[in-house]
Amino acid sequence: MPNPDLSTDGDAPTAAAPPPLPPPPLTLPRPALFLDMDGVLAPLAETPDAVVPDPRRTAVLRAVADRLHGRVAIISGRTLAEIDRIAEASTASASGVHGLERRRADGSIHRADPAPEVRAAVAEFESFARSRPGIIVEDKAVSAGLHYRGAPDEGADALRLAGRLADETGLSLQAGNLVVELKTPGSNKGTALQAFMRESPFAGAVPVMLGDDLTDEDGFKAAEALGGFGVLVGPPRDTAARHGLPDVDAVLAWLNAVEESE
């Protein structure tokens, strides 16, 4: 299985990088914003716990949620508890673990039942990590994550292990930015976005999904299918997003400036 986060050596020519995408407009007709956390609202860090609350981020999220009458949701691979820790519970609506957890605007929460095979995946990942300093295993109950940002040379082996376990267990494999996850099947960021769009206060709005890595492509596609668009944060690459922003600072500045037109 190819690893999008590891470079390869050799003499093969490198394809030209896609051109930068245009920034998203500041004025939108009744937008609904769906925001990834890591790499979008918060800079990437060596370990998941190293991402901490930030007063600017919290203030921007609260301001834009108020301006858009609550039509803002964080959609992340992190758990709801981690989303609230980092964003300081600044958005009523949120979805965690790639759609397997979802909190509606009224505060009610839906959590998928964990596939029993997740326990086996956690055990295999922990065994893999014991002899490899820098590897971190994340147990999210409904999924198992294997982070190799601290040991990027182990990435190829981590992906091979995850691919084998996915074949053996039927768990869904989700590759991300120097992380691979095996999760309970049935949900992704696109299905989470679609579910929010069927509910108040999002129904009838124009969905805009901001994301940075491959886990966000389902969200980009879902937003496009519902009349909105995706915004890729970070370097240009092949993507379903139609607009782009360079980094977290640009995202927060855009959120601070975004307005709605009725």
Q: Which CATH class is domain 29-111+187-260?
A: alpha beta
- What number of other Cβ atoms are within 10 A of residue 258's Cβ? 20
pLDDT number for residue 112: 95
CA of 200: how far to CAs of 70, 72, 138, 197, 250, in Å?
A: 9, 11, 33, 8, 28
Name the catalytic one among 5, 36, 84, 213. 36
Residue from 52, 127, 140, 58 nearest 91 by CA: 58
Digit-coded pLDDT (tens) for 14-72: 567 788 999 999 999 999 999 999 999 999 998 889 999 999 999 999 999 999 999 99
Eight-class DSSP state of 17: P
Give the C-alpha separation, 56 to 65, whole Å. Answer: 14
pLDDT number for residue 236: 95
Q: Where in the chain is the domain with CATH 3.40.50.1000?
A: 29-111+187-260
Task: Reply yes or no on whether 36 is catalytic.
Answer: yes
Structure tokens at 89: 């519970």
Helix and strand totals (H; E) in the chain: 7, 14
Give the C-alpha separation, 219 to 207, whole Å. Answer: 10
Site of tokens 């014991």: 130
Percentage of the chain modeled with pLDDT above 70: 94
Alpha-carbon torsion 142, 61, 70, 217, what sign? negative
Helix locations, the chain, DSSP H: 55-67, 80-87, 117-130, 155-169, 189-197, 217-225, 248-257
Give the C-alpha separation, 58 to 74, whole Å. Answer: 12
Give the CATH superfamily of 117-183: Trehalose-6-phosphate phosphatase related protein; domain 2 (3.30.70.1020)
| Residue 259: pLDDT over 70 | yes
Digit-coded pLDDT (tens) for 142-190: 999 999 999 999 999 999 999 999 999 999 999 888 999 999 999 999 9
Q: Where in the chain is the domain with CATH 3.30.70.1020?
A: 117-183
Residues 6+ apart with CB under 8 A from 127: none
Site of tokens 């309970």: 184
pLDDT number for residue 111: 95
Using an 8 Å Cβ cutoff, are 24 and 255 in contact?
no
Site of tokens 């930030």: 54
Least confident of 42-51, 75-84, 87-96, 204-213: 42-51
